[in-house]
Amino acid sequence: MGEKKKSAKAKKEKAKEAKAKKEPEEEPKKEAKQEEAKAVEPKKEAKAVEGAKAAESKEAAEGEAPSLIKGEECPICHNKTLTLTESMTDIPFFGKTYLFSMNCSSCGYHKADVEADESKEPCKYTLDIDSEEDMKIRVVKSSNATVKIPHVGSIEPGEASNGYITNVEGVLQRMKKIIEVLRDDSEDDEDKKKAKNLLKKLLRVMWGQEKLKLIIEDPSGNSAIISEKVVKSKL
Ligand SMILES: [Zn+2]
């Protein structure tokens, strides 16, 4: 991860953006209005992560075809327009994992979660991200998980928390969207500046130019960072 020439870097940025767009992730797409996240600094709660859907794109890539149940009653708007989706993915070094989601076509309500087929112990995963290659490392995040990126921010469990299967880049993209909301919504110049600096930092991490720690804690055990270099410990 050394220095990169300017033009090469610009090119790389383009390529990276394109790549981020088509990066396959398994979470169904409808979005929650509320996200469970906050950035450490600036400390205002993020209210929406509209854009995070871009990071967590579109399909249920592998595993069985998802099963759908349509026409259920929505817990929010009570229209019978809720679709339940369930699919299974076999994740190497983690096992069979079920993906559940609820999407309401009337009010946009969305809820998703993941659950491992076999029950797992509470866990904590710590990953030192230090190269572009690390962006591909697979991440399973359940709704019970707390995602911590020291000095950047965290994603907390709770009502609005979703579970998903993604990769390190997907997690960073989500954090990026959260901070973008802070940057855009903040009235305070100092907060805006902090947000901008954090966004720059995240981009450098995505390009392998800066290191970062990623920690996932999950009392349900249904989360994982799947890599040889991850440190797994008891929670
Ligand atoms: Zn609804």
C-beta separation of 181 from 46 below 8 A: yes
Residues at Cβ < 5 Å from ligand 1 ion: 74, 76-77, 104, 106-107, 109
CA 111 to centroid of ligand 1, rounded, Å: 11
Specify the pLDDT at position 131: 96
Number of Cβ atoms within 10 Å of the Cβ of 74 = 19
Specify the pLDDT at position 39: 52
C-beta separation of 66 from 86 below 8 A: yes
CA 83 to centroid of ligand 1, rounded, Å: 10
CA 125 to centroid of ligand 1, rounded, Å: 35
Q: Considering only CA atoms, which of 177, 215, 143 is closest in space to residue 20?
A: 177
Specify the pLDDT at position 22: 43
Specify the pLDDT at position 133: 97
Specify the pLDDT at position 168: 98
Give per-10-residue mean pLDDT for the chain (235 aa): 46 46 44 46 40 39 76 96 96 94 96 93 97 97 97 91 96 95 93 96 97 97 96 94
24 CA to centre of own chain: 13
Residue 219, burial from CB neighbour count under 10 angstroms (0-12, 13-18, 19+):
middle
CATH 2.60.120.1040 fits 6-60+119-234, yes or no: yes
Specify the pLDDT at position 66: 84
